[in-house]
Structure 1
Amino acid sequence: MFIHFWGVRGSLPKPLNNENVQAKLTAAIARMTPKDLESAESKMKFISSLPDWIYGTYGGNTPCIELRPKSGEVILLDCGTGLRDYAMYGKQPEDRHYTIFLSHLHWDHIQGFPFFGPSFNPAVTIDIYSPFDDVEESLEKQSSTPFFPPNGCWESVKNQCHFHKVEEGVPLELYGMKIECLKMFHPGDSYSYSFQENHKKFIYCTDAELQPSDFDKSIERNFYFQDADVLVLDSQYTNPEAARKVNWGHSSFSRAVEFASIWNVSDLYFFHHEPAYDDKKLDSILSAGINYQKYNAKGSEVKIHMSREGQEIVL
């Protein structure tokens, strides 16, 4: 499996502003020495030595992940604003066939769909999978007046779209993979997806407020997460913010670390980043997560990452 992150923010997009850019430049200059400017090689060495929050950005697009199984099919997980970037910069399938899995229909997970360029091509086929019954109706409303001009995009794309219902507890065999979904705690419900191929397991679990029962090994459904090679997990909040926002449907980074440790996950990717957090804040959360694991999840070998636009994983 090949995985590419196109959108990692939650709730709404978070573009860099002037203040963010100036803070990065100021921090870089403060670290610079005359020796760092002696040659092109020394300049590049200096740049590559900078902390992640200075060197680049974790990204501001809302959720979209590209997944390609061994068969080469293009699978897109959610349709946040990252979907538009995939359409503009990603590798498009030669057969013009796209497969989309939607976790749920909240705005930040579908807002990129009306701007998905390939959908306007009559030669394109888009298969959309979801546990919800009203996906077609919701996408039609989104792309119609008063949200779009008369004769808006739905009339241009509806014939390319084919809708499929998936059910919790009923595995789907598709493109040589075993695909399963699991309902998570989130207002209006949200579903995680598990993709298994060649003894590797990738789980996409956005918009999930982890509950005590999710950690219970006496509950059979929870073994869905056991031994995942990669778990992309909602880790939107710090602990104090999570305490203030109980029942909002999102988790703290520390709960994510505990959860991944309990279920013997190999690699955990913090995801659905809070839009109020800048890159420096996200960097500090990553460090805090690693330290939390060290002192509170002893014996855990899970590797912790902060999801970043442009990041790629090969399983």
Structure 2
Amino acid sequence: MNQHHDRSVADTVSDEPPTPVTPTEAQREVEEKLIRNVLRSFDDCENPRLRQVMQSLVTHLHAFIRDIRLTEKEWALAIDFLTAVGHITDDRRQEFILLSDVLGASMQTINIDNEAYKNASEATVFGPFFLEDSPEIKNGEDIAGPAVGQPCWVEGSVKDTDGNSIPNARIEVWEADEDGFYDVQYTDERVSGRAHLYSDDEGNYRFWGLTPTPYPIPHDGPVGNMLEATGRSPMRAAHLHFMVTAPGQRRLVTHIFVEGDELLKYDTVFGVKQSLIKRFEEQPAGTPTPDGRDLGDQTWTRTRFDIVLAPEDTPR
């Protein structure tokens, strides 16, 4: 990445208090004429949804530009910033998702596209660290692999909103290790802290993982620079990811969070919902485990997450 693209937000945006600007009537007409012309340019778009999206984007984008009286210097910074986000993105790191997350855009999209329905489990952010083709485990097995951390027994059920058990639901789970890193953040091609399993004939599931710990999102790139310049923390509340799918049911992408975590109010991607905060009960060393696993002198935790899936045809 060249030096031009390494400029930070703080380097270019003035730290002087904004001076109120009231455009003249003639200036307002110049700006509004441009908006009308840009909106009209999409009138012949044959896809009505695409036309709606583009015209709304233009309307809100121009309103933002006019509201803050954007300078050419600041516009150039924005271009540099987005270019840097693209440069650092690859098949193992998605900086654009990270940017969407820290601006609350990911969470707002999820809120809109997963409207509350009866007692269905709430959705939250997908995050940038999901991978396809995770290893399959059987109920009761361990997702941690070589990842280090305190063992955690996770169990629960999968049901529909009428209380019917859902057997054979696919449950994808993934999490960071105790050092706050996902497997994809290491360079040795390890696969750890992730797997998929299926609910059993009664709709129940269980597995060993790691007790979630707080960690920072990747902040060594442009998104991290933006957070630093704006005085924001990169820290995420401790969590364990789930993605649950079953025929006839709406896909659920969510996390569970750790009760008592001080970061629950300050999660940098705004992903915490009260219903997703769970108690992770610490068990003294030597406490018998649910499956008879011998953990020696290790302490461990246990938690329960009963998953409720909304029907596939619920309003979006």
TM over 0.5, shorter chain: no
The structure with the greater share of residues assigned to helix is: 1
Q: TM-score range by the shorter chain?
A: under 0.3
The structure with the greater share of residues assigned to strand is: 1
> TM-score, normalised to structure 1's length?
0.22
> TM-score, normalised to structure 2's length?
0.22
Larger radius of gyration: 2
